[in-house]
Amino acid sequence: MPEVHRKLQPIPFTDISFQDDFWSPRIKVNRDVTIPHIYDQCQATGRISAFTLDFQRSLPAPIVLIFGDSDIAKWVEAASFSLADFPDENLQAKVDDVIEKIIHAQQPDGYLNTHFIKGDPAMRWKNLRDWHEMYCAGHLIEAAVAHFHATGSHVMLDALTRYADHIDATFGPEPGKRPGYCGHPEIELALVKLYHATNNPRYLQMATYMVEERGAQPHYYDWEARQRGDDPAKYWAKTYDYCQAHLPVREQTKVVGHAVRAMYLLSAVADLAHEKNDLSLLVTCQRLWENLVSKRMYLTGAIGPSAHNEGFTQDYDLPDETAYAETCATIGVMMWNHRLLQFNGESKYADVIERALYNGFLSSISLTGDQFFYENPLASFGENRRQTWFDCPCCPPNIARTFASLGQYFYSSNADGVWVHQFAQGTAHFDLGGVPIQLRQQTDYPWNGNVRIEIGVDRVTEFGVHIRVPGWCRQWSVKINNLQLDIQPDANGYLVINRDWSPGDCIFYAMEMPIELTWANPAVRALQGRVAFQRGPLVYCLEAADHQDIPLETIALDGRSLTPDVFEAVHEPNLLGGLTIIQGYALALAQEDGADRLYQNAIPKGKKIKITALPYYAWANRNPGAMRVWLPVY
């Protein structure tokens, strides 16, 4: 039987610290602004007081959506992550208060969902397909596990254990239980966490059952609909693709449906491949990953082009301007790839994480930390701006919990050594057979590719340091102390340096980071004849703020002189928190004879103009105006 288990373990975010100018300020803003802001919004919209169970559903305010519990759960998780790194009495008190309210709402049988306790008790567990009950439970479980790890307190964990036990008593393969699973996957990955937090294998079994039963015939959602007196054929989303329940997961060949659901489900599938040592589940992930990455992912790492189903459509359907590209789905991309990365340390998964992290994810929040994008299009010609909140506010707390636990994505370790997946100035602590080791990165990443890694050991210690060669990187060099190494990346895409490390040893890793011009696969019809700028991990865009006299849509690159070396990277320390822009010349197009004519038998005339591209993540932090990643070539 093949060995499927993960060979690597992520170094927990609590053992990572950032001491850089890129992530540290964002994490501080997350702590100082975003987490308090989300608390205030949850309070103002009744998401906290809902747990007192004295709200009126008929009142227009506070608005408590059917999955309102999940929003505050993600806030508790984010706050707990933050507390684990940065103790804060005020935040701790708020968390304690919210948890007290949550526990107060729990019913004697363990059930815990404010909407169905108070708003619609007769409908409890009647519509797993649409009503997010287990989804909310999953987020509460994740919050409880995070709170337990951060504080050592069992109080929320115990409550959620009782809720999980209630769900276990209601659903499952055993006689008298219903073979149900949630339309919005989430609880599956949460139950794996609960299993590890409690060491109770029952929760792993629950997660396994929910993944295995998904898409089986006779279909639970058909049965459940008939029980409600509904015609299953009248399902509003028309097909169970929407919730990845159209087929058993092992038979699925494409990533389909609602993009967040797909990523959460596949995160659990990856977890179970490891936990159960199940190659068929890992192969399923690999197959769907290939489909995602080769045919269904935006350049920014975002996924899901369609607003209609908040998700996937067809292969190669990646329009820029109408991209839905939900923030939560991009976070899901990171979650899933993080799990896949730990199996064998293949750099392709870390590449996807990096792409999503620096682009599709980071674009979702303003530099001020209190405004958010739900959708992250790759072009905008209206007045598209980040919002302070949403009627469906799943994204803001998802962003907050990601920032608060960001370090988890950067390093892994095992008994043989350490993996440097991502680059940022700061420190990682890990333990090698009982020997504490530190890695200290010094770098200005992502502005240049020079990374100094100091090995912090107390005495000479042998282990391997694995350093990722990013997919975008074509030239690099490595020195140890003053010794140039002549090594190539291994089959997994990492430079592997196995040696006896002495205190003070330094690795000098230099990745060349030129400006790159990127073309999409010609099968992507929406991007034909278009080019995007990338530099290192960053996708760039043009923004109206830098091109005030020229309609942004008329700016094209000059196909007669289209090589990266006609553009220049310039660091601007005072612009939008400090960033490297790309400058050069392009064409402002107009009809050849200047006439305001729709069609003519001549290629539009281009006037040479200077252009500035800035990192995509930084757009929409100045005056409202157009933005475009993919530029036409004339």
528 near a second copy (CB under 8 A): yes
For 612-630, letters b (16+ CB in 10 Å) and e give bbbbbbbbbbeeebbbbbb
Q: Residue 40 and residue 36: Cα distance in Å, rounded?
A: 6
530 near a second copy (CB under 8 A): yes
Build a one-symbol-per-residue string for 558-587: x at contacts with a second copy by CB under 8 A, - elsewhere: -x----------------------------
Tell the smallest beta-carbon distance from residue 474 to a second copy (Å): 8
Build a one-symbol-per-residue string for 284-303: x at contacts with a second copy by CB under 8 A, - elsewhere: ---------xxx-x-x----
According to CB under 8 A, which one of 518, 572, 583, 612 is a site residue for a second copy?
518
> Would you name the residues annotated as active-site residues?
310, 394
Tell the smallest beta-carbon distance from residue 451 to a second copy (Å): 22
Amino acid letter, residue 20: D
Interacting span for a second copy (CB under 8 A) from 29-37, 44-52, 332-340, 553-561? 553-561
**Cβ pair 198, 157 in contact under 8 A:** yes
Tell the smallest beta-carbon distance from residue 50 to a second copy (Å): 29
624 near a second copy (CB under 8 A): no
According to CB under 8 A, which one of 516, 566, 576, 578 is a site residue for a second copy?
516
602 near a second copy (CB under 8 A): yes
DSSP 502: P
Q: Which is nearer to a second copy, 235 or 634 (CB)?
A: 634
Tell the smallest beta-carbon distance from residue 516 to a second copy (Å): 5
* Look-up of token digits 């007192």: 52
Longest dimension (CA), the chain: 79
**379-438 binders of a second copy (CB under 8 A):** 379, 381
Q: Residue 615 and residue 100: Cα distance in Å, rounded?
A: 43
Q: Which is nearer to a second copy, 201 or 551 (CB)?
A: 551
Which one, of 329, 360, 371, 368, lies nearest residue 538 by Cα? 360
Q: Is 50 helix (H, G, I), strand (E, B) or coil?
A: helix
Sorted by sequence, the CB contacts under 8 Å of residue 115 that are 6+ apart come out as 50, 64, 65, 66, 67, 68, 69
According to CB under 8 A, which one of 44, 575, 609, 633 is a site residue for a second copy?
633
According to CB under 8 A, which one of 521, 568, 571, 585 is a site residue for a second copy?
521
Q: Rounded to the nearest 10 degrees, what angle do helices 279-295 and 327-344 cross at?
A: 130
Amino acid letter, residue 523: A
Q: Which residues pair with 480 in a beta bridge?
A: 483, 507
Q: Which is nearer to a second copy, 14 or 518 (CB)?
A: 518
Q: Residue 374 and residue 366: Cα distance in Å, rounded?
A: 12
Tell the smallest beta-carbon distance from residue 633 to a second copy (Å): 6
Q: Which is nearer to a second copy, 88 or 290 (CB)?
A: 290
According to CB under 8 A, which one of 79, 350, 524, 620 is a site residue for a second copy?
524
Q: Residue 566 and residue 548: Cα distance in Å, rounded?
A: 22
Number of residues that bind a second copy (CB under 8 A): 43
Dihedral angle of Cα 29, 31, 37, 41, to the nearest 10 degrees:
140
Q: Which residues pair with 497 in a beta bridge?
A: 465
Sorted by sequence, the CB contacts under 8 Å of residue 40 that are 6+ apart come out as none
Interacting span for a second copy (CB under 8 A) from 78-86, 210-218, 402-410, 517-525? 517-525
**Cβ pair 188, 138 in contact under 8 A:** yes
Q: Which is nearer to a second copy, 401 or 535 (CB)?
A: 535
Interacting span for a second copy (CB under 8 A) from 136-144, 329-337, 494-502, 525-533? 525-533
483 near a second copy (CB under 8 A): no
According to CB under 8 A, which one of 603, 607, 610, 624 is a site residue for a second copy?
603
Which one, of 488, 423, 420, 499, lies nearest residue 457 by Cα? 499
Which one, of 355, 308, 360, 352, lies nearest residue 329 by Cα? 360
Interacting span for a second copy (CB under 8 A) from 65-73, 141-149, 362-370, 523-531? 523-531
According to CB under 8 A, which one of 553, 558, 577, 583 is a site residue for a second copy?
553
DSSP 11: P
Interacting span for a second copy (CB under 8 A) from 210-218, 249-257, 267-275, 601-609? 601-609
Q: Rounded to the nearest 10 degrees, what angle do helices 279-295 and 259-275 cross at?
A: 150
Tell the smallest beta-carbon distance from residue 34 to a second copy (Å): 31
Q: Which is nearer to a second copy, 33 or 590 (CB)?
A: 590
Tell the smallest beta-carbon distance from residue 522 to a second copy (Å): 4
Q: Which is nearer to a second copy, 253 or 521 (CB)?
A: 521
525 near a second copy (CB under 8 A): yes
According to CB under 8 A, which one of 105, 556, 582, 618 is a site residue for a second copy?
556
According to CB under 8 A, which one of 12, 248, 529, 578 is a site residue for a second copy?
529
According to CB under 8 A, which one of 43, 49, 461, 554 is a site residue for a second copy?
554
Interacting span for a second copy (CB under 8 A) from 30-38, 261-269, 272-280, 550-558? 550-558
Neighbours of 291 (CB within 10 A): 18
239 near a second copy (CB under 8 A): no
Interacting span for a second copy (CB under 8 A) from 90-98, 431-439, 441-449, 594-602? 594-602
Q: Is 130 helix (H, G, I), strand (E, B) or coil?
A: coil
Sorted by sequence, the CB contacts under 8 Å of residue 588 that are 6+ apart come out as 550, 554, 555, 606, 607, 609
- Element containing residue 609 per DSSP (H, E): strand 605-615
Q: Calculate the alpha carbon distances from 391 to 54, 66, 134, 323, 589 in Å.
A: 21, 11, 21, 20, 40
Sorted by sequence, the CB contacts under 8 Å of residue 473 that are 6+ apart come out as 449, 511, 512, 513, 536
Build a one-symbol-per-residue string for 100-139: x at contacts with a second copy by CB under 8 A, - elsewhere: ----------------------------------------
Which one, of 577, 625, 541, 572, lies nearest residue 359 by Cα? 541
Q: Which residues bind a second copy (CB under 8 A)?
A: 293-295, 297, 299, 318, 321, 379, 381, 516-525, 528-530, 534, 551, 553-554, 556, 559, 589-591, 596-604, 632-634
